[in-house]
Amino acid sequence: MRRRYAVVDVFSDRRLLGNPVAVVLDAEGLDTEAMQRIARWTNLSETTFLLPTMVAGASYRLRIFTPVSELPFAGHPTLGSAHAAVTEGLVARPAAALSLTQDCGAGLVPVQVEAADRYRLRLPEARCTPLGAADRAALEAALGGPTDAAVPLQVIDVGPRWVVGALADPAALLALQPDMTRLAAFERALGATGCTLFAEASGTDADGDIEVRSFAPSDGVPEDPVCGSGNGAVAVLRRALGRIAPGAAYIARQGRCVGRDGRVELSLDAAAAVWVGGACVTTVRGTIEA
CATH code of the region 2-121+278-289: 3.10.310.10
Domain coordinates in residue numbering, the chain: 2-121+278-289, 127-272
Split at pLDDT 50, 70, 90, the class of 79 is very high
The predicted model scores a pTM of 0.96
23-55 confidence digits (pLDDT tens): 999 999 999 999 999 999 999 999 999 999 999
Helix (H), strand (E) counts: the chain: 6, 17
Catalytic annotation, pick one of 28, 33, 46, 211 = 46
216-234 confidence digits (pLDDT tens): 999 999 999 999 999 999 9
Please enumerate in sequence order all residues whose Cβ is within 8 A of that of 196, keeping only pairs 6 or more positions apart, or say none.
162, 163, 164, 212, 213, 214, 215, 227, 230, 231, 233, 234
Q: What is the model's pLDDT at position 98?
A: 85
pLDDT score of 207 more than 90:
no
124-135 confidence digits (pLDDT tens): 999 999 999 999
Contact in structure between 19 and 255 (CB atoms under 8 Å): yes
Q: What is the model's pLDDT at position 204?
A: 52
For range 186-207, the mean pLDDT: 88
The percent of the chain in helix, strand and coil, each rounded to the nearest 5, is: 25, 40, 35
Split at pLDDT 50, 70, 90, the class of 104 is very high
133-156 confidence digits (pLDDT tens): 999 999 999 999 999 999 999 999
pLDDT score of 205 more than 90:
no
Average pLDDT, the chain: 95
**Chain centroid, CA 77 distance in Å:** 7
The question of whether 46 is a catalytic residue gets the answer: yes
State the architecture of 127-272 in CATH terms. Roll (3.10)
